[in-house]
Amino acid sequence: MTAESIRVAVVDDEDLVRAGIVSILSRVDGIEVVAEGGSGEDAIKICRDQQVDIMLMDIKMPGIGGYGAVRTLSKINIETKILIISVYSDDMYPTRLLQAGAKGYITKASSKSDMVRAIRSIYQGQHYISPEIANIMALKQIDDKNKNLFDQLSERELQVCLRIISGAKPQDIADDFHLSAKTINSYRYRIFEKLGVKNDVELTHLAIKHGLLSLVDTD
């Protein structure tokens, strides 16, 4: 590989999927796969241990998952740019991942050329969303029926919501976010009001219905 090659890491907990992506990219001129992993924690360790230009990462993985890894990497100001590659095409996922710090989002149904185009575009400082997702997002702006209830939550409210449906207690959430339990409860009841639910159980059921559990940190 040349010194100008784009250094890529691939993180996906499905071995066959990861191997397939690595195999495809290994045959592309100007791209070098320098690391692999199977969890959000792996993604963070890879970025801390070596120089990676682009991180291709799934959302639903063990541990903190892709969403948690994106948030963590954004906070610690890692220069690695993140490209999400996922089975999920619902607008909520790319919107939230891009808000959290990802630079691009494509689906696993994307073509090889689309994936390579995304890597090169992001490396050059651009954002990239695969055409089918861009179309869904555009249609959603003009069709209220397709909007997800959770879209109305702010980023902080969504973070608190995800911790609630993962089973965390208000004091634990408060400790994680360096806030008071009273403040977390204020967020909690604001979330209930916006979503039209009365308690944590109803919130969890609603989250399952809307596919939000894919963003939840797991053990």
pLDDT at 3: 55
Owning domain of residue 175: 149-215
- Identity (one letter) of the amino acid at 104? G
Instruction: Report the number of distinct structural domains present in the chain.
Output: 2
pLDDT at 137: 63
Q: What is the pTM for the complete model shown?
A: 0.71
- 107's enclosing H/E stretch is strand 104-107
Could you tell me which of 17, 16, 22, 20 has the C-alpha nearest to residue 35? 22
Tokens of 114: 């689309």
Distance between CA 91 and CA 208 in Å, rounded? 16
Distance between CA 65 and CA 78 in Å, rounded? 17
> Is the predicted pLDDT of residue 1 greater than 50, yes or no?
no
Indicate whether 25 and 133 sit together in one domain. yes
Distance between CA 33 and CA 23 in Å, rounded? 9
Q: Are 91 and 115 in contact (CB under 8 A)?
A: no
Tokens of 122: 């992001």
Q: Which of 89, 118, 141 is the last residue of a domain?
A: 141
Q: Which of 117, 141, 165 is the last residue of a domain?
A: 141
Tokens of 215: 């963003």
Output b/e per residue, 64-80; b: 16+ Cβ within 10 A: bbbbbbbbbbeeeebeb
Indicate whether 137 and 153 sit together in one domain. no
Q: What is the CATH number of the domain that holds 164?
A: 1.10.10.10
- Residue-wise pLDDT tens digits, 21-68: 999 999 999 999 999 999 999 999 999 999 999 999 998 888 888 888
The helix-helix angle for 92-100 and 155-165 (nearest 10°) equals 110
Flag whether 194 is in a domain. Answer: yes
Tokens of 121: 């575009």
Q: How big is the chain, counted in residues?
A: 219
Indicate whether 19 and 121 sit together in one domain. yes
Q: How confident is the model at residue 165 (pLDDT cuts 50, 70, 90)?
A: confident
pLDDT at 214: 64
Indicate whether 68 and 103 sit together in one domain. yes
Indicate whether 154 and 205 sit together in one domain. yes
Distance between CA 47 and CA 101 in Å, rounded? 15
Q: What is the CATH number of the domain that holds 119?
A: 3.40.50.2300
- Residue-wise pLDDT tens digits, 66-85: 888 998 898 886 789 999 99
Lowest-pLDDT range, 74-83, 132-141, 179-188, 196-205? 132-141
Indicate whether 86 and 185 sit together in one domain. no
Q: Which residue did the predictor score with more confidence, 172 or 213?
A: 172
